[in-house]
Amino acid sequence: MNIKSRFKDYQVNLVSDFSFIDNITLDEKTYVVADKNVYKLYYDRLFKRISKEQLYLIEAVEENKTIKTALEICEKMTGLSARRNARLVSVGGGIIQDITGFVANILYRGIHWTFVPTTLLASCDSCIGGKTSLNYKSFKNLLGTFYPPDEIYICPVFFDTLSEKDFLSGLGEVVKFNFMYGEEGLVKIEENISKLIDRDKEVLNQFVESSLLFKRRFIEEDEFDRGKRIQLNFAHTFGHAFETMSNYEIPHGTAVAMGTVTANYISMKRGMLDEEYVQRMENVLWNIIRVNITGLHINIDTILKAIHKDKKQVDNQITAILMDRKMELHILHDLQSEEIANAVKYLFGHLKGNDN
């Protein structure tokens, strides 16, 4: 799959095994940054032949997604004999992607970058689109640039070792893309959600590919998030609040799935979306939102405050993307605290029943 970009067109390779790895890592100009967990799990298959001097490991936690970590990598890389022709290969999920994309962008004003996503979320969504983000002070993703990789290798073997929490988080974005696709996407996801949850390789491959093809339409038309691409933020206004308020206990894609329930409830109450569609989407979503809200110390007031604070909110209006009865998306700027509170109350009421 080829992605057109103002920076450079880049290639997404969907592969079925790890035979690609030697080609991209065994070169003295290459520096490899990997997720510590992935390094341990895949040492024999991926990292055994890479020298220690060319390797930097990061624990994939939000606290490490900082300018400090990015500069530490720059420090190591400037010590390499290679200069502007240095190559960075990163192996991990969205956290590793966000840090290394930033490094690849600023070092020598841009070096060659290969990304190997290891989570479902990074494979089906974040690996394309070129956003890099770092957390700053208490603000998530406040610093960032646009810089796509030169090539991406997606290998579904990685999904085998994902925890249920991280796997279901990835499905949150897959489901979101399918709802955005409209009736046809909804039917497709209704028919396949059980197989996806069972990690059926063939079905997962199909959905990873179709998610990327769908996202490609938006990023090729509006790479810098000024128009059409904003629609991809469907469910994210609320999702970001759930994510931060839970101190990242609720992972990104799960927060997006919860944000979808919230957005749809508001649409339904406004008379924009019929109950039948809301029910059908919720029937899919309750399968993947396995959050026990009781242990998380989040409440409706803190969620509302977080929504107001979100960096994407301009002035005092609350902006969110809502779906109508044709499953088309609209950017609305007049959301009221009360209707959001009612929707969150409805969502939390459901999640109180979860005990896992």
Ligand X SMILES: NC(=O)c1ccc[n+]([C@@H]2O[C@H](COP(=O)([O-])OP(=O)(O)OC[C@H]3O[C@@H](n4cnc5c(N)ncnc54)[C@H](O)[C@@H]3O)[C@@H](O)[C@H]2O)c1
Q: How far apart are CA 235 and CA 259, in angstroms?
A: 4
CB of 337 to ligand X, least distance (A): 25
User: Please, which residues bridge with residue 106 across strands?
Assistant: none
Q: Which is nearer to ligand X, 140 or 269 (CB)?
A: 140
> What tokens does 301 get?
């007031």
Task: Pick between residue 273 and residue 291 the one whose CB is nearest to ligand X.
Answer: 291
Regarding beta strands 10-14 and 151-154, do their DSSP bridges make them parallel or antiparallel, or are they unpaired? parallel
Contact (Cβ atoms closer than 8 angstroms) between residue 87 and residue 77: no
Write down the least CB distance from residue 128 to ligand X, Å: 8
Closer residue to ligand X in complex, CB, 141/231: 141
Structure tokens belonging to residue 286: 């309750």
Residue 316: burial class (beta carbons within 10 Å; 0-12, 13-18, 19+): exposed
Nearer to ligand X, 133 or 262 (CB): 133
Q: Closest distance between ligand X and the C-beta of residue 1, in Å?
A: 17
Residue type, 247: N
Minimum distance, C-beta of residue 302 to ligand X, in the bound complex (Å): 19
Instruction: Name the residue nearer to ligand X (CB basis): 95 or 152.
Output: 95
Nearer to ligand X, 169 or 267 (CB): 169
To the nearest whole angstrom, how small is the minimum distance from the Cβ of residue 295 to ligand X?
19
Which stretches of the chain bind ligand X, using CB under 6 A?
35, 37-38, 41, 60, 62, 65, 92-98, 118-119, 121-122, 126, 129, 131, 133, 141, 158, 161-162, 166, 169, 251-252
Beta carbon of residue 144, minimum distance to ligand X (angstroms, whole number): 8
DSSP string, 103-148: HHHHGGG--EEEEEE-SHHIIIIITSS-EEEEEETTEEEEEEEE--
At closest approach, how far in Å is the CB of 160 from ligand X? 8
Q: Which is nearer to ligand X, 248 or 346 (CB)?
A: 248
Q: Which residue is nearest to ligand X (CB)?
A: 94
Nearer to ligand X among residue 156 and residue 185 (C-beta): 156
Are the C-beta atoms of residues 36 and 57 closer than 8 Å to each other? Answer: yes
Helix (H) or strand (E) holding 321, with range, is: strand 318-323
**155 burial class (0-12, 13-18, 19+ CB within 10 angstroms)?**
buried
The residue among 25 and 119 lying less far from ligand X, judged by its C-beta, is 119
End-to-end, the C-alpha distance of the chain in Å comes to 38
Instruction: Find, among 116, 141, 130, 133, the residue nearest to 219 by Cα.
Output: 130
Nearest distance from C-beta of residue 243 to ligand X, angstroms: 8
Residue with Cβ nearer ligand X (47 or 277): 47
What's the closest the beta carbon of residue 162 comes to ligand X, in angstroms?
A: 5
| Helical axes 275-288 vs 183-197, angle rounded to 10° | 20
**Least separation, in Å, of the C-beta of 37 and ligand X?**
3
What residues have CB less than 8 Å from 258, skipping those under 6 apart? 238, 239, 242, 250, 289, 291, 347, 351
Q: What is the largest CA-CA distance in the chain?
A: 63
Gap between the Cα atoms of 342 and 199, Å rounded = 34
